[in-house]
Amino acid sequence: MGMMTWHQTGKAQRLRRFLASLALTVPLALGGVAGPAVAARSTPDELCAAQKAARESLEAQISQHNAQPHTFTLPNEQAAYAVYNAEADQLNGQRDAVAQQLLDCLLAMQKLADPGNGGAGLYAPSKGVIDELTKAIAGLPADWKAPAGPDSKGYWRVPKTDKARPLFDTLRKDNPPDVGDVKFQGAARPKVGDVDPAYPAGSQRVIGPSKNGAGPGVSADHIVPLAEIISMPGFTKLTPQNMYAITRAPINFQWLSYAANYSKSSRSAAAITGVDPAWAAQATQLEIQARQDLRDLIQQLLKTQLNGG
């Protein structure tokens, strides 16, 4: 009587080594300038902990499957042979999906951190913030509709009467964080006395001291306003952790003087008056790119969320 054998391939081992090496190399690109007032930063590996745990759980199932007897006498053990192969097919399909979710999450977090332009890093929300966001998300009606655009004066708003206001308030608190002396968009934080690049050279505007005199009078400005981000397709379907990462991502920050930041507010850079035309054109292009990146990354992160959430 003939013997037939079937065994799980070596792909699970190769997959595990590939993902482990990726998880180790991505955070190394996120070096930032630490300071006593700067909150602890998180690596993409830490921010993709749920996807990593799902991968490890599946690897355990694959190891358990591979440890089972895998030599069958046919046709006497046809049923057991079929069950073994069916389980292998199922695990292989799950393996590919889980591996892709983890990879996409790591790459999305890396892009959000924007390590090539300064390495300000990403931050993980505290349990208290996660609880507040979870409550705010639950309070959104199923038929809630995001505003179609800014108001008549160009400002993006979330009215206090809007059901999304608790979500906005939670995400807006301490945002931007105190990141310290880091680069945004490849540009160093301006120093006191530097020429304000947002205004014409002839204006003689310079960067003054901060309100407490401890540093330069500049702000980490959201290139795309927070109120607009909340209205982006799919944003309210993100997990609290992913919402937090998207709304505090260095890819969406730039340094602006107090004057320029106050004038811009929650509008497009194109709406600021009295600024240098060349600076305005550059800032507008930066805004267009940041907006598209954020939209794309929201969709990418949605696909990485386990069980759709």
- Looking at residue 291, what is its pLDDT? 97
Q: Residue type at 24?
A: L
- Write down the pLDDT at residue 40: 60
Alpha carbons 81 and 73: distance in angstroms, whole number: 9
Please state the φ and ψ torsions of residue 180, each to the nearest 5 degrees.
Answer: 85, -160
Helix (H, G, I), strand (E, B) or coil at 86: helix
Count of residues in the chain: 309
- CA-to-CA distance for 129 and 124, rounded, in angstroms? 10
**Could you count the other beta carbons within 10 Å of the beta carbon of residue 67?**
9
Closest by CA position to 114, among listed 24, 184, 176: 184
pTM, 2 dp: 0.83
294 with 229: CB under 8 angstroms?
yes
**pLDDT value at residue 240:** 96
Rounded average pLDDT per 10-residue block, the chain, 309 residues: 39 31 32 37 89 92 87 88 88 90 95 80 91 97 92 94 97 90 92 96 93 91 97 96 96 95 92 92 96 98 81
Q: Name the token pair of 174.
A: 């301490």
Domain boundaries, the chain: 3-113, 127-308
CA distances 304 to 78, 97, 100, 298, Å, are 38, 9, 8, 10
pLDDT value, residue 72: 84
The predicted pLDDT at position 309 comes to 52
Q: Do 113 and 119 form a contact (C-beta atoms < 8 A)?
A: yes
Tokens of 173: 């608190």
